[in-house]
Amino acid sequence: MDADRDLVKAAAAGDRTAFDELVRRHQGQIVNLARAMTASDADVDDIAQEVFVRVWRGLAQFRGESAFRTWLYGIALNVIRTHRGRRSKLRRLFWSAPADSEGDPVEEARDEGTGIEQKLMLRDAIDRALRMLPAELRDALVLRDVQGLEYREISETLGVPLGTVESRIFRARQRLRPLLAHLRSSH
């Protein structure tokens, strides 16, 4: 049974307190997803806000055929894709430098630092390596290994068969592995 069902029902009827609780419950997941997908802290909060605003506006149309979280993730992925497309167009129009011109993320993460600093650098390296994957592979892999969704839930969120999810996750890990090789050897 969907743990959010009662809150969703109340929020769909206009209960802002119930909606605020839904945001509180899921904000961490959405922020984490946005960060992993964009490898940037700059727009994460704005993306998260946009996701929940769209959820609020769409609640009346949510029929409950899937779990609320599945529906929420679907909206989040759409918002993130729109954001990526917009950033990519801006980059093509105004900047000549390639998107990942900040340097080798893996090399930077090998530097020693304090515990939390090293973890932050490691996260940054992972997220930047994820950005190098094709979008459809990255989406499946992030939902599985970063967000912890089950395969069936990923299949429903992405709207693709279970076998496709398995294939994408497999290929994504195989492609990511050489990009993270230095990280694995130093951690």
Partner 1 sequence: MTCNDAQPLIARYADDETAVPPADRDALTTHLAECASCRAVLDEQRDVAVLLRGRLETVPQPGLVARVSARIDREPEDDGWLGLANWRAWTVGLAPVAAALLVAAYIDIGSVSSAGTAETTVPATLEEWTTATAPAALQADASGDALIEAVLTGVAPSSGDSDVR
Which residues lie near partner 1 (CB under 8 A)? 16, 20, 23-24, 27-28, 31-32, 34-36, 41, 44-46, 48-50, 52-53, 56-57, 79, 82-83, 85-86, 119-120, 122-123, 126-127, 141, 144-146, 148, 151, 163, 166-167, 169-170, 173-174, 176-177, 180, 183-184, 187
What is the torsional sign of CA 163, 169, 174, 175? positive
In whole angstroms, how close is the CB of 167 to partner 1 at the nearest point?
5
What is the torsional sign of CA 51, 30, 161, 175? positive
Identify which of residues 9 and 173 has a Cβ nearer to partner 1 in the complex: 173
H helices within 39-186, ranges in order? 44-58, 68-94, 105-109, 115-130, 135-141, 151-158, 162-179, 181-186
> What's the maximum distance between 2 C-alpha atoms anywhere in the chain?
53
In whole angstroms, how close is the CB of 83 to partner 1 at the nearest point?
7
Identify which of residues 9 and 171 has a Cβ nearer to partner 1 in the complex: 171
d(C-alpha 118, C-alpha 29), whole Å: 22
Identify which of residues 28 and 64 has a Cβ nearer to partner 1 in the complex: 28
Which residues does 177 contact at the CB level (< 8 Å), separation at least 6?
none
In whole angstroms, how close is the CB of 169 to partner 1 at the nearest point?
4
Identify which of residues 66 and 164 has a Cβ nearer to partner 1 in the complex: 164
Which residues does 104 contact at the CB level (< 8 Å), separation at least 6?
none
Identify which of residues 30 and 67 has a Cβ nearer to partner 1 in the complex: 30
In whole angstroms, how close is the CB of 1 to partner 1 at the nearest point?
21
